[in-house]
Structure 1
């Protein structure tokens, strides 16, 4: 009987967690339907972001929705322009959703135009018109529980706020946008692997394209890494132009990621992970996925991750101490002005994040400021910086500097206490 009661309590806790997540994610329920209907409105100082959208979703009969959460029979391409309010009227890192339609472009995101694209020739035309002098392309893959419009507006926000010098391409897969359809969404990523692989290969084949950065969020990380793994198996390697892969809050089993990583072969892109140990969405995912660590929630200072990431050459950016804009702490990468600009000004450009103002320098600074603390407080100070970077290329140098600071603090404390 006790075992049965324990099982009932355990089941109750699981459902309570699901219901809590449902409540936390229900904020979008009050949004008007049909935000993708072009408004033809403009505002002084507003910016426009043009995105090419590839999707494996089924078309929706609603012209303001465009594509549903069901699976389409073949990939479709659409060019969408989104108006973003003047920076003086909005908070960087956030999507200002319309409260009603038509939207107010002075304070809210608005759809400017929607143009269906027919075939590769139009895709090449769009790419030729939007490829910057840097010749870079950024492909974004959204995560679990996203509608088509969610993905479009979020990516437009990331492109604008990051100031990324790259042609923006969104890949959106069939998500029913329901917390209770986790399994359906996961299978939809599997359904979309070939399409993402084909898209990346097609972009890489374009002569004028120089480098490709792929950025994925949450469950989209599984889809992205699977597509790259398939490409490596089919072609013998990942396309060389795919130079950077950014996984933000990756909802990915760490054991599975290890296998995917090894099967990509020796010539892999540079990987950067954004992790946060207080990510509540990944805590829920962990519980319903066999209680195996999720890649986006690991502690990069703990073993075996510390050593394994060093061997693999993977950079980990720990956002645990950074205050998130949502109660699930699952979207810090896009909601923090500092982080989203870091993506555009450094990661998309292929720069290694090491001894920068948001990297090891801040962590050393945080320790140095703690001279009045005990040596035991040094460790906590080291991880209390809002953004902590763990880069294999400089870890040894950082450890040496950390040890020197620690010894200096120990001498200071010993002198002050007379011990």
Structure 2
């Protein structure tokens, strides 16, 4: 029987010992676990239990892996007729998703919904009621309307009555204006799930390239935690989508290609959050390839990423043909780099010798692909963009997972002493920054300077060159300091929105935007460097 480790305790222990593994260490049995689950569910449960026991003792630690192991265990327990135990795991996973939302990037609401359904099916009314109360709090914090909250309230009252207790008096919805609705465009090779709910509209299966818009709500005033929600998915045919893009008349477009283990819902929210953090001036386009939502499907995701290159090529060709030729920025994270590199390789074959660059900024954020292949491709990719930037880190979760699976085989995004350099790329090592790089203020500030001003690393903030030798291409190491202050990315976003074009205008906006005199003084040299003498 699968032993249920107390999940919150397990996570507290793991968080304290979470540290990078060496390049040669691998996660035994991890890559084959999904196949074992299909062939021998009991053996898979035994392996999950052994892996979690090892993690609890501090031998290995990654909250994403912990979540995905428990998620798989719950599914296997349901299949094996142990639905009651699975329901308890689902309830704990929902709380885990709330507690570590910024690390996991998971919207807890679908987790709560699955837990409640299973708890009610197994007549665990008290836990179902308590889970619904936590779900209500999450819905309200995320800006749910009166109708959604009323339905959850009704279920809570029903279960309270069954338990012989009074229904709790719950607070109503937040006032209007607390959240803003943000539209992103998407192109995806995912198959529709058949579910009407936006968060589950697409599944992990592969489909034909399709297009549409999605609506994401974000807090009007950004807070310390991510409570963004995907609200609507609006499919469109390709012609209508292109026409809509043309009517939007963007000056710049940011195409985001997400990592492995990232579902459509999570990628859509990330696209909206990233676009707003960078000033909201780039028209956001998400290319969602059919990655699984689980880190356990890493190897399958690798195959899917490579297969997505042809359709990404089609999307980029469509965007290149937009009237008025907006600036096209491409940002791939983790395994999404495999799709982007493959698409650019195809485009390079059609690029004439005298053709101007098709793209403005091409950015590979901790690219999860073979380092040698990445280096070999760079000379062909260089003519396609004004600038190619590599962000590397030896602390990023995707690099940690890749190193565990590939051992000593170097990945292009690995940082520290292994940071890749080449004449065709600016290499920035962000190993000094912990957590999710695409929500890190230091990286976001650097991205804003890059997209806005096309600045080389020596004119951006917080980057120090570390040449390997005389005449060698340097690695630009991120150094902790004022550049990681969250107020800086807010200032840069305001400058982008105001379309500032001079040092004088930028300094004037600094004076009117930042009220703290000490902070203004520290920001002045940063702003001045954006317009060198």
**Could you say whether these structures have the same fold, taking a TM-score greater than 0.5 normalized by the shorter chain as the test?**
yes
Query: Which structure exhibits the higher relative contact order, with contacts defined as CA atoms closer than 8 Å and separated by 6 or more residues?
Result: 1
Higher helix fraction (1 or 2): 2
Counterpart position of 2:204: 69
Matched, 1:123 2:258: no
Q: CA deviation at 1:360?
A: 4.2
Regions of 4+ moved over 6 Å: 38-42
Q: 1:19: how far off? A: 7.7
Tell whether the 8 Å contact from 1:217 to 1:248 is kept in structure 2 after alignment. Answer: yes
Change (3 A) 1:231 1:40: farther
Contact between 2:463 and 2:478, CA under 8 Å: does it hold in 1?
A: no
44-53 or 180-189, which deviates more: 44-53
- Residue 138 of structure 1: CA displacement? 0.6
Aligned match of 1:291? 408
Shift of 1:270: 1.3
Partner of 1:243: 360
Give the 3 Å change call, closer, same or farther, for CA 285–63 of structure 1 in structure 2.
same
Counterpart-to-counterpart distance in 2, 1:316 and 1:173: 26
Does the C-alpha gap of structure 1 residues 192 and 12 become closer, same or farther in structure 2, counting only changes over 3 Å? closer
1:254 is aligned, of 368, 371, 374, to 371
Q: 1:44 aligns with which of 177, 192, 212?
A: 177
CA distance in 2 between partners of 1:210 and 1:280 (Å): 33
Q: 1:215 is matched with which residue?
A: 331
What do residues 138-187 of structure 1 show as CA deviations (whole Å, max 9, x unaligned)? Answer: 10000010111010011111111121421110000101212221111111
Of residues 170, 173, 179 in structure 1, which corresponds to 2:289?
Answer: 173
Q: Displacement of 1:277 after TM fit?
A: 1.9
Aligned ranges for residues 100-249 of structure 1 at < 5 Å? Answer: 109-120=228-239, 122-132=240-250, 135-236=251-352, 240-249=357-366
Is 1:57 aligned with 2:190?
Answer: yes
Counterparts of 1:168 and 1:383, CA distance in 2: 27
Aligned to 2:454, the other structure's residue is in SS state coil
CA separation of 1:347/1:11 partners in 2, compared to 1, >3 Å: closer, same or farther? same
Report the Cα distance in structure 1 between the residues aligned to 2:356 and 2:192, rounded to whole angstroms: 30
Distance (whole Å) between structure 2 residues aligned to residue 49 and residue 32 of structure 1:
19
Distance 1:194 1:12 in 2: 32
Asked if the contact 2:186/2:213 (under 8 Å) is kept, the reply is yes
Matches of 1:224 and 1:13, distance apart in 2: 26
Separation of aligned partners in 1, 2:455 and 2:363: 12
Larger CA Rg, structure 1 vs 2: 2
TM-score by length of 1: 0.69
Distance 1:81 1:304, change over 3 A: closer
| Counterpart-to-counterpart distance in 1, 2:432 and 2:214 | 36
Q: Is the 8 A contact 1:54 1:170 kept in 2?
A: yes
Matched, 1:272 2:376: no
1:81 aligns with 2:215: yes
When residues 271 and 179 of structure 1 are mapped into structure 2, their CA distance, relative to the original with a 3 A threshold, is same
- Shift of residue 343 of structure 1? 1.8
Q: Pick closer, same or farther for the CA change 1:110–1:11 going to 2, 3 Å.
A: closer
The 3 A distance-change label for structure 1 pair 151 and 21 is closer
1:32 aligns with 2:109: yes
- Secondary structure of 2:394's match? coil
Measured after TM superposition, the shift of residue 246 of structure 1 is 1.1
* C-alpha deviation, 1:323, in angstroms: 3.2
> Contact (CA 8 Å) 1:354, 1:360: kept in 2 or not?
yes
Per-residue deviation, residues 292-337 of structure 1 (Å, max 9, x unmatched): 12122133xx5894xx43x22x22222211232xxxxxx22x2212
Aligned alpha-carbon RMSD (Å): 3.4
Within 2, Cα distance between the matches of 1:303 and 1:297? 6
Is residue 443 of structure 2 the alignment partner of residue 339 of structure 1? yes
CA contact (8 A) 2:258 2:334 kept: yes
Tell me, yes or no, if the aligned pair for 2:212 and 2:241 is still in contact at 8 Å.
no
- Structure 1 pair 20–152 and aligned structure 2 pair: CA distance change class (3 A): closer
Equivalent position SS for 2:460 = coil
Matches within 5 A, 1:260-409: 260-264=377-381, 266-289=383-406, 291-299=408-416, 302=417, 305=420, 308-309=421-422, 311-312=423-424, 314-324=425-435, 331-332=436-437, 334-360=438-464, 384-385=479-480
**Residues 39 and 111, structure 1, Cα contact 8 Å, conserved in 2:** no
3-state SS of 1:180 partner: helix
Distance 2:215 2:195 in 1: 18
The one-character-per-residue Cα deviations of 1:117-158 (angstroms, maximum 9, x if unpaired) are 1122x12222124333xx111100000101110100111111
Contact 2:359 2:386 in 1 (8 A): yes
Q: Please give the TM-score of this superposition, normalised by the length of structure 2.
A: 0.55
